[in-house]
Chains A and B, each alone.
Chain A
Amino acid sequence: MSKRIDVKDLNVYYSKFLAVEDVNINIDAKSVTAFIGPSGCGKSTFLRTLNRMHEVIPGARVEGEVLLDGDNLYGPGVDPVTVRSQIGMVFQRPNPFPTMSIRDNVLAGVKLNNQKMSKGEADALVERSLRGANLWNEVKDRLAKPGSGLSGGQQQRLCIARAIAVEPQVILMDEPCSALDPISTLAIEDLINELKDQYTVVIVTHNMQQAARVSQKTAFFNIAGTGKPGRLIEYGDTHTMFSNPTEKATEDYVSGRFG
């Protein structure tokens, strides 16, 4: 229930502007891969191309291939809707649907597939997903209450529960802890650690300690200057990336010497 991702010669454009240039990367299944780099280097943009969410932005387009276990996401006849139901996403700001209860939030994605589900099955799925997101014990007595009543960290875990309820192959996380306090961040990091037993997890983070704590592999993105495209500078085992990187730029960035 988890697949690997291989990216070949990927360029991302906003209209004519080349935002990310020539990325080649192989992301392992059942592991956590972290993308680090300064703001504006294109790591979030690149993350979005992994489930075609960049298409929401007017003018954004890609060239190249993203292979999910060998199947090109950008192949002819591939529906972005299908892609996204297999590659889930968690956003920077927690975004549970405010008009839905906690229970309905978890079931939101499943209901899309028009599967007829008995109440018992739905209850079991809600419990399984919320347990999977380490949230069950905190919300089990108020499943009918609105999701917006939870704390920020709980809301983010609710979003993770919502993402894993559809049983995706891959979970993409775009700075999932940047709006959270340290305690909630810790809870999410623990959760990411558990998720990798079942899912391929890709996480964008500004927090290098976080990348070091949660990921097996790290990719460092950088830009040469404003108006230049972002590039993948170095990609390797997290341990090596932080202790003994090959590139000077990586070393400068992870050691905090970067501008």
Chain B
Amino acid sequence: MTTTSLTSSRGAGRAGDKVFSGATLAAGCLILAVLFGVALFLVVQAFPALTASPDMIKGGEGFFAYIWPIVIGTLIAATIALVIATPIAIGVALFISHFAPRQLASSLGYVVDLLAAIPSVVYGAWGAAFLAKEISPAYNWLASNMGWLPIFQGPASATGKTILTAGIVLAVMILPIITSLTREIFLQTPKLHEEASLALGATRWEMIKMAVLPFARPGIISAVMLGLGRALGETMAVALVLSSGALTASLIQTGNQTIAAEIALNFPEASGIQVSTLIAAGLVLFVITLGVNMIARWIITRHKEFSGAN
């Protein structure tokens, strides 16, 4: 008597289990394969540019001299975007999740989500045709009143097509994704913890500082990282808004360039080693994004013990 009711199994259920676990495994492998494929492509295609003699590269001083100003430009634009967008996004998300009356909250959430659906070229056109013009008086003011700061050194660009304008447009573009993600996280704060702080005599804002924001911290970091990813890689908007040039410290003068815009503007006419150079620039952007995400992961796991997940 070796076959008992315990050893016989329901065939169908077992098969479904196998198919499901196989499918999830395949999906997981696929994403790794795609990522690896892209990385491999970038490395192989970029290799000629990395090993070419300096005078072959645009600018004539080698790949490193070519790439570092636009790396800095990319980081400047993305930083401006994050500095502007993060506090606004968190504020809007908190307003929607904890302050607004229910009806207003849902329509406001809808409007914010709608912002994410606008194509980036529209943002670019808006930035170039409208924002740049409207904002240049402000740049003039900054140049004459705060010009002693290197970042606001004059003379301000007459067209307003500067890295700061590009950063502002990027901020508007990444606002919806950060807002909707953080809003979701804020809504998930356990009622238990909110009530705990209120019962201790916390005001609403103190409750948010005590219960909501600490709980949402990893989620906020993830949301900001997604926004940063978009800001780093955004092409069209920057290409349209920024009138690019050499690296300069002043944010309100013409100049600076980002990697993505540089690739987009030059790729159509590039050939041979120039293509390799641009792909190598893409590889650098890839590495930057990877590095930023790893740092974010590290920040999140550093506080795992206090995350509330245990």
Known contacts A91-B195, A93-B192, A100-B214; decide if A112 and B200 are in contact (CB<8 Å): yes
Task: Please give, as numbers and ranges, the residues of chain B lying within 8 Å of A97 by CB-CB distance.
Answer: 193, 196-197, 210-211, 214
Q: Tell me the count of chain B residues lying within 8 A, CB to CB, of chain A.
A: 27
A130 at the interface (CB under 8 A from B): no
Asked if A85 contacts B200 (CB within 8 A), the reply is: yes
- Partner pick for B306 among A56, A81, A91, A98, CB 8 A cutoff: A98
Known contacts A100-B306, A146-B305, A148-B310; decide if A85 and B201 are in contact (CB<8 Å): yes
A240 at the interface (CB under 8 A from B): no
Task: Please give, as numbers and ranges, the residues of chain B lying within 8 Å of A96 by CB-CB distance.
Answer: 196
Task: Please give, as numbers and ranges, the residues of chain A lying within 8 Å of B201 by CB-CB distance.
Answer: 81-82, 84-86, 109, 112-113, 166
Kindly provide the distance from the CB of B189 to the nearest chain A CB, expressed in whole angstroms: 11
B1 at the interface (CB under 8 A from A): no
A182 at the interface (CB under 8 A from B): no
B236 at the interface (CB under 8 A from A): no
B308 at the interface (CB under 8 A from A): yes
* Complex: A187 Cα to B200 Cα, angstroms: 23
A53 at the interface (CB under 8 A from B): yes
Asked if B307 contacts A98 (CB within 8 A), the reply is: yes
Task: Please give, as numbers and ranges, the residues of chain B lying within 8 Å of A146 by CB-CB distance.
Answer: 305-306, 310
* Complex: A178 Cα to B256 Cα, angstroms: 64
A159 at the interface (CB under 8 A from B): yes
Task: Please give, as numbers and ranges, the residues of chain A lying within 8 Å of B202 by CB-CB distance.
Answer: 81, 84, 109, 112
B206 at the interface (CB under 8 A from A): yes
Cβ-closest chain A residue relative to B199: A89
Contact with A along B178-219 (1 / 0, CB 8 A): 000000000000101111111111110010001100110100
Cβ-closest chain B residue relative to A88: B199
Interface set, chain A 88-121, CB cutoff 8 A to B? 88-89, 91, 93, 95-101, 108-109, 112-113
Asked if B200 contacts A91 (CB within 8 A), the reply is: no
- Residues of A that sit less than 8 Å from B by CB: 51, 53, 56, 58, 81-82, 84-86, 88-89, 91, 93, 95-101, 108-109, 112-113, 145-146, 148-149, 159, 162-163, 166
* Complex: A152 Cα to B231 Cα, angstroms: 45
Asked if A98 contacts B199 (CB within 8 A), the reply is: no
Asked if A108 contacts B197 (CB within 8 A), the reply is: yes
Asked if A99 contacts B306 (CB within 8 A), the reply is: yes
Task: Please give, as numbers and ranges, the residues of chain A lying within 8 Å of B200 by CB-CB distance.
Answer: 84-85, 88, 108-109, 112, 162-163, 166
Task: Please give, as numbers and ranges, the residues of chain B lying within 8 Å of A53 by CB-CB distance.
Answer: 195, 198-199
* Complex: A140 Cα to B304 Cα, angstroms: 22
- Partner pick for A99 among B102, B192, B195, B308, CB 8 A cutoff: B308
Asked if A91 contacts B196 (CB within 8 A), the reply is: yes
* Complex: A232 Cα to B90 Cα, angstroms: 45
Cβ-closest chain B residue relative to A90: B199
Asked if A95 contacts B310 (CB within 8 A), the reply is: no
Cβ-closest chain B residue relative to A110: B200
Q: Could you list 29 A-B pairs, sorted by A, with CB under 8 Å? A: A51-B199, A81-B202, A82-B201, A84-B201, A84-B202, A89-B195, A91-B195, A93-B192, A95-B192, A95-B193, A97-B193, A97-B196, A97-B211, A98-B193, A98-B306, A98-B307, A98-B308, A98-B309, A99-B306, A99-B307, A100-B214, A112-B200, A112-B201, A112-B210, A113-B201, A159-B196, A162-B196, A166-B200, A166-B201
* Complex: A85 Cα to B199 Cα, angstroms: 7
Known: A53-B195, A85-B201, A98-B215. 20 other contacts (CB 8 A): A56-B198, A81-B202, A84-B199, A85-B200, A89-B195, A93-B192, A95-B190, A95-B192, A95-B195, A96-B196, A98-B308, A99-B217, A99-B306, A99-B307, A100-B214, A112-B200, A145-B305, A148-B310, A162-B196, A162-B200
Task: Please give, as numbers and ranges, the residues of chain B lying within 8 Å of A89 by CB-CB distance.
Answer: 195, 199
* Complex: A83 Cα to B133 Cα, angstroms: 54
Task: Please give, as numbers and ranges, the residues of chain A lying within 8 Å of B199 by CB-CB distance.
Answer: 51, 53, 84, 88-89, 91, 163
* Complex: A249 Cα to B308 Cα, angstroms: 44
Task: Please give, as numbers and ranges, the residues of chain B lying within 8 Å of A162 by CB-CB distance.
Answer: 196, 200
Cβ-closest chain A residue relative to B102: A58
Which of B196, B200, B303, B307 has the most C-beta atoms of chain A within 10 angstroms of its own C-beta?
B200
Asked if A112 contacts B206 (CB within 8 A), the reply is: yes
Asked if A56 contacts B197 (CB within 8 A), the reply is: no
Task: Please give, as numbers and ranges, the residues of chain B lying within 8 Å of A95 by CB-CB distance.
Answer: 190, 192-193, 195-196
3 tightest CB-CB pairs across the interface, nearest first? A85-B201, A98-B308, A99-B214
Known contacts A99-B217, A149-B310; decide if A91 and B192 are in contact (CB<8 Å): yes
